[in-house]
Chains A and B, each alone.
Chain A
């Protein structure tokens, strides 16, 4: 669904899907499939309170994701603060429910469930920021045919640069972003302004913040050493450390 919204040409090519209708149909089927799997838990030998909690959390998180997606789809002009809040909803919620569901099968202790949900949220935000970096990597490679202008304009480095540049320079940067698919020189302007403004440093600072906060959520004796180390290793890998 995100790919349809961003008009992601490369993703469409890889998945061999030809129309947005196909994408939406497939994504809808995935949600219903997840529902069937959750309902099936009721016939297994699993605590019914746990299953009900997971089913409720699953739907609540999906609604949050829809809220985040709606903000993304309906606005072309949002602040950096709006964007960071949207990331927690549309991507953070997705990973939060994955962490919560697994944890809820093991415990009903709200403190640990909240910590694992927050770990998932932080991880989801990191994934979305890394996705944003993919757009910039494609831009650098000058593969214009594969390039999604929409996702670049709504990426963290672009929104940061728009937020911090003085008015006159902001307009020039915005114009270059608008022309980027059609005019090769616009790419150099965008990269130059982003680099000069410290977009890379800001991105690293935010990734550091999300990674350290995620790891902090696991610093509790309740969590067993082996799974804790595995989860921390995922975060470190996202940070390019392992």
Chain B
């Protein structure tokens, strides 16, 4: 589950997160991680949705509010 490992490193390592923003392919190669083209696209769009204006990543509390608000 490489996607899970990439998300974990993005969330716990600010240097890797910055590298991923600037050069995703280079950042992944440096860590020996590989994502398919599709996974990279989903991750990029998921990250766009999950990054808040202050640059912090979304929390479980916020994600439940976002997705379950209409229920």
Q: Which of chain A's residues have a CB closer than 8 A to the CB of B10?
A: 198, 201
B50 with A201: CB separation less than 8 A: yes
CB distance from A195 to the nearest CB of B (A): 5
A133 with B8: CB separation less than 8 A: no
CB distance from B70 to the nearest CB of A (A): 6
B42 with A200: CB separation less than 8 A: no
| Per-residue contact bits, chain B 1-13, to A (CB 8 Å; 1 contact, 0 not) | 1011101101110
- Residue among A133, A201, A203, A239 with the highest chain B CB neighbour number at 10 A: A201
- List residues of A (43-101) whose CB comes within 8 Å of B's CBs: 79-81
Q: Which of chain B's residues have a CB closer than 8 A to the CB of A130?
A: 67-68, 71
Tell me whether A112 is interfacial, beta carbon within 8 Å.
Answer: no
Known A208-B49, A212-B42: A198·B7 in contact at CB below 8 Å: yes
A-B pair count, CB < 8 Å, reads 101
Number of interface residues of A (CB under 8 A): 37
- List residues of A (188-242) whose CB comes within 8 Å of B's CBs: 191, 194-209, 212, 237-240, 242
Tell me whether B47 is interfacial, beta carbon within 8 Å.
Answer: yes
Q: For A208, give its contact among B42, B60, B68, B69 (CB under 8 Å).
A: B42
Q: Which of chain A's residues have a CB closer than 8 A to the CB of B67?
A: 130, 133, 207, 238-240
Chain B residue at minimal CB-CB distance from A200:
B63
In whole angstroms, what is the CA distance A44 to B68 when docked?
Answer: 40
In whole angstroms, what is the CA distance A140 to B67 when docked?
Answer: 15
CB distance from B57 to the nearest CB of A (A): 5
B62 with A202: CB separation less than 8 A: no
B11 with A157: CB separation less than 8 A: no
A164 with B62: CB separation less than 8 A: no
Q: For A200, give its contact among B3, B60, B68, B71 (CB under 8 Å).
A: B60
- List residues of B (23-71) whose CB comes within 8 Å of A's CBs: 38-39, 42-43, 45-47, 49-50, 57-64, 66-71
A-B contact pairs, 18 of them (CB 8 A): A81-B1, A133-B68, A134-B71, A137-B64, A157-B60, A160-B7, A195-B59, A198-B57, A200-B57, A200-B60, A201-B11, A203-B63, A204-B50, A205-B46, A206-B42, A207-B46, A208-B46, A240-B69
Given contacts A191-B61, A198-B10, A207-B67, 11 further A-B contacts (CB under 8 A): A79-B1, A81-B1, A130-B67, A130-B68, A133-B67, A137-B64, A137-B68, A140-B60, A191-B60, A200-B57, A208-B46
B residues lining the A interface (CB < 8 Å): 1, 3-5, 7-8, 10-12, 38-39, 42-43, 45-47, 49-50, 57-64, 66-71
